[in-house]
Amino acid sequence: MPELRKDPIIDRWVIISTERGKRPVFFIEEAPSTKTAICPLCPGNEYMTPPEVFAIRTPGSSPNGPGWHTRVVPNKFPALRIEGDLDKEGIGIFDKMNGIGAHEVIIETPNHGETIADMDLKTIQNIFIAYKERVTDLYKDKRFKYIMIFKNHGSVAGASLDHSHSQLIALPIVPRRVLEEINGGLTYYKFKDRCIFCDMINQELDDNERVVYQNELFIALSPFASRFPFEIWILPKKHESNFITHSQSESYFFLAECMSVLMKKYVRLLNAPPYNFIFHMAPKNESELSHFHWHIEIIPRLTKMAGFEWGTGFYINPTPPEEATIYLKETEV
Amino acid sequence: MPELRKDPIIDRWVIISTERGKRPVFFIEEAPSTKTAICPLCPGNEYMTPPEVFAIRTPGSSPNGPGWHTRVVPNKFPALRIEGDLDKEGIGIFDKMNGIGAHEVIIETPNHGETIADMDLKTIQNIFIAYKERVTDLYKDKRFKYIMIFKNHGSVAGASLDHSHSQLIALPIVPRRVLEEINGGLTYYKFKDRCIFCDMINQELDDNERVVYQNELFIALSPFASRFPFEIWILPKKHESNFITHSQSESYFFLAECMSVLMKKYVRLLNAPPYNFIFHMAPKNESELSHFHWHIEIIPRLTKMAGFEWGTGFYINPTPPEEATIYLKETEV
């Protein structure tokens, strides 16, 4: 059983995957090639994954066979286990709990080699609809407090399979970065009675120095204090604390359009870089927060993270976000 | 002039190096080889660096010429500038200040290719003495609140030169990770009237499951909530909030001995991995804190950091620290 352990000094939880325990020899050996002969995420190979928990399919096709457009399956090597109770335990000054959670893989397309930059808008929209469906379903489980949706694209960014996919991890705790943002937003809200993210969006629209792209419903910004070159945040223009509150799938179409434009810009400007994106949203029990605004953080992996950043939570960014914005805006897609 | 910018939502500062602004083309091109024909850190090439600010030298040798054992020079491409005033400015909801600070390079040995694992203890001791001297000197500058000492070893860990060196950056702010540890320590202290780090050391000595190494003055632990495989923290056994308080250089000899043993273990067990180490110590104006305990965090760079970790401050570690400890203890040096 994996364990969740808490750093006794700061409020940081770590998953210790006791079952996947890596012996030193595995780190020394060359990483295995990601180009396996048979891709477990391709149509026809559905038997290679655990049974699907959600799929958007061609009418008439059967579960766990071909005919899907988007398919969600449990991770075959999960960081957390779905079965069990949330036993918490103190060991002197240390705290740990059972590594209970869900870990799923969202297979974004049946076409091996197709990236988000290549996909049509309907395909990208389906990815967001799949996220929403899975989050809504997993939040019925009382053990889960937060669901992290993220994508690792390219092996430098941590992807172990080529076939385009994203992941979600349902957690029994709220991760500290999200808590910090919620607390920061609350402090501002108490003072100003306004959402800090809404204020930031308004100021960015006025300044127009860091707005990379916008459509009717979404805005894409280079953050004022960007940690990484060409980092972009996507936010809904209208205040919303959770992305699953949309009852209409139309808004996911606008989100798909925005994501598509940004990914095409990355491909043209930065030569298809590895990247990560991460959703930040309100935790389950606080889905209607006035002081928090959901968003997606996109980080192209262009620079190596050095000791300075690890040790301090303090970043050095060699590309001013205003310059990054000019380059991104000038890139035609 | 570089800028320090603050994220408006959470208390995170970022250095935006406006002068080193990297255009997209630089990220696309291959990184230049680190094997330059002439090493600017080697003896005889002192003219290639800015003039030294400290050196431990053979008696009779002249500054900025050969004959040094340890040499400290300003970074030729500093992330922050030493000249100027700390002007702070608000831009609507955003905050920034001039990127004032010092950025220095500690050249650890005259011998190109020698690593800490190869060095004799006197050489390693000199590195720590150089840190102490520079920190003590830079803290005389009223603009600086914190000095970060760190080492990037290997290009994967962010080193851009092969010749063994570490760095320090003097900052006009206290980085958030350090502040969080101080605040976490204070919360515990208010409750228990004891230092949480001291309690942790005592518990680890009792359990003896995660003690990698110890000598008379220092202990090396695999942290209970290790973020990374084979992560190690070195702490003084006796309570101290700042490593520069030692008046005797003898204690740096014990620190050197501990560091030497750990580095030799890394080389043998993990095949000389890239790594970072980072000092965490009390900020300048709080050098005698009862609730904070200085330490060094050492992180071998064995795993790729993926989107999950970036987005959440939440880590997945495939190697339980108890297993890492067994491997490290069994490795003879």
ipTM: 0.90
- Could you tell me if residue B172 is inside a domain? no
**Which pLDDT score is estimated for A316?**
87
**Angle, CA of A31, A32 and A38, to the nearest 5°:** 155
**Under a CB-based contact definition with an 8 Å cutoff, are residues B1 and B18 in contact?**
yes
pLDDT > 70? residue B29: no
Task: Using alpha carbons, list the distances in angstroms from residue A224 to A37, B92, B249, B272.
Answer: 44, 11, 44, 39
Interface probe, candidates A181, A265, A304, A325, chain B, greatest B C-beta count within 10 A: A304
CATH of residue A63: 3.30.428.10
Both tokens of A33, joined, read 């090639």
Both tokens of A245, joined, read 């509150």
Last residue of a domain, one of A173, A194, A214: A173
Structural domain that includes position B289: 177-330
Side-chain-facing half-sphere of A261: CA atoms under 13 Å: 20
CB atoms within 10 A of CB B120: 12
pLDDT > 60? residue A34: no
Report the distance separating Cα B136 and Cα B57, nearest Å: 19
pLDDT > 90? residue A18: no
* Mean pLDDT of the region A206-232: 96
Told to judge if B103 belongs to the known catalytic residues of this protein, a careful annotator would answer: no
- pLDDT band for B305, please (50, 70, 90 cuts): low
One domain for residues A79 and A197: no
Find which of A14-18, B21-25, B82-86 is predicted with most confidence, using mean pLDDT.
B82-86
One domain for residues B206 and B285: yes
pLDDT > 90? residue A113: yes
One domain for residues B137 and B229: no
One domain for residues A22 and A118: yes
Least confident piece of the model among A60-69, A192-201, B5-14, B34-43? B34-43
**Under a CB-based contact definition with an 8 Å cutoff, are residues A165 and A108 in contact?**
yes
User: What percent of chain B is modeled with pLDDT above 90?
Assistant: 72
Find which of A74-78, A108-112, B306-310 is predicted with most confidence, using mean pLDDT.
A108-112
Find which of A269-278, A299-308, B84-93, B114-123 is predicted with most confidence, using mean pLDDT.
B114-123
**Which pLDDT score is estimated for A30?**
47
Record the pTM: 0.93
**Which pLDDT score is estimated for A22?**
65
Kindly report the nearest CA distance between residue A293 and chain B, in angstroms.
Answer: 11
One domain for residues A139 and A201: no
Mean pLDDT of chain B: 91
pLDDT > 70? residue A286: no
User: Where does A145-299 have alpha helices with state H?
Assistant: 176-192, 196-207, 250-270
Last residue of a domain, one of B149, B167, B194: B149
pLDDT > 80? residue A306: no
One domain for residues A169 and A276: no
One domain for residues A148 and A292: no
**Which pLDDT score is estimated for B225?**
94
Query: Residue type at A153?
Result: H
* Mean pLDDT of the region A164-191: 93
- Could you tell me if residue B165 is inside a domain? no
State the maximum Cα–Cα separation within chain B, in Å, rounded to a whole number: 59
Tens of pLDDT, residue by residue over B82-134, are: 998 889 999 999 999 999 999 999 999 999 999 999 999 999 999 999 999 99
A184 interaction partners in chain B (CB closer than 8 Å): 8-11
C-alpha torsion angle, residues A285, A291, A295, A299 (rounded to 10)? -110
One domain for residues B135 and B200: no
Per the model's pLDDT, the better-predicted residue between A156 and A41 turns out to be A41
Task: Give the residue on B whose Cα is nearest the Cα of A93.
Answer: B200
Helices B250-270, B121-138: inter-axial angle, 10-degree rounding = 120
Does any CB of chain B come closer than 8 Å to the CB of residue A283? no
- With tokens 């190596």, the residue in question is A304
Tens of pLDDT, residue by residue over B176-218, are: 889 999 999 999 999 999 999 999 999 999 999 999 999 999 9
**Which pLDDT score is estimated for B24?**
74
One domain for residues A9 and A135: yes
Beta bridge partners, B88, equal B97
- Could you tell me if residue B109 is inside a domain? yes
Report CB contact under 8 Å: B304, A158.
yes
* Four-residue CA torsion sign, A131, A163, B320, B307: negative
Does any CB of chain A come closer than 8 Å to the CB of residue B232? no
* Mean pLDDT of the region B124-148: 95
**Which pLDDT score is estimated for A198?**
97
Helices B321-330, B250-270: inter-axial angle, 10-degree rounding = 100
Residues 92-111 on B with a CB inside 8 Å of A are 92-94
Count how many domains chain A has. Answer: 2
Task: Using alpha carbons, list the distances in angstroms from residue A13 to A86, A93, A125, A171, B303.
Answer: 15, 14, 32, 11, 18
Task: Using alpha carbons, list the distances in angstroms from residue A252 to A125, A248, B184, B226.
Answer: 5, 8, 40, 38
Tens of pLDDT, residue by residue over B207-249, are: 999 999 999 999 999 999 999 899 999 999 999 999 888 767 7
One domain for residues B47 and B109: yes
Residue in B167, B186, B102, B174 with CA at minimum distance from that of residue B141:
B102
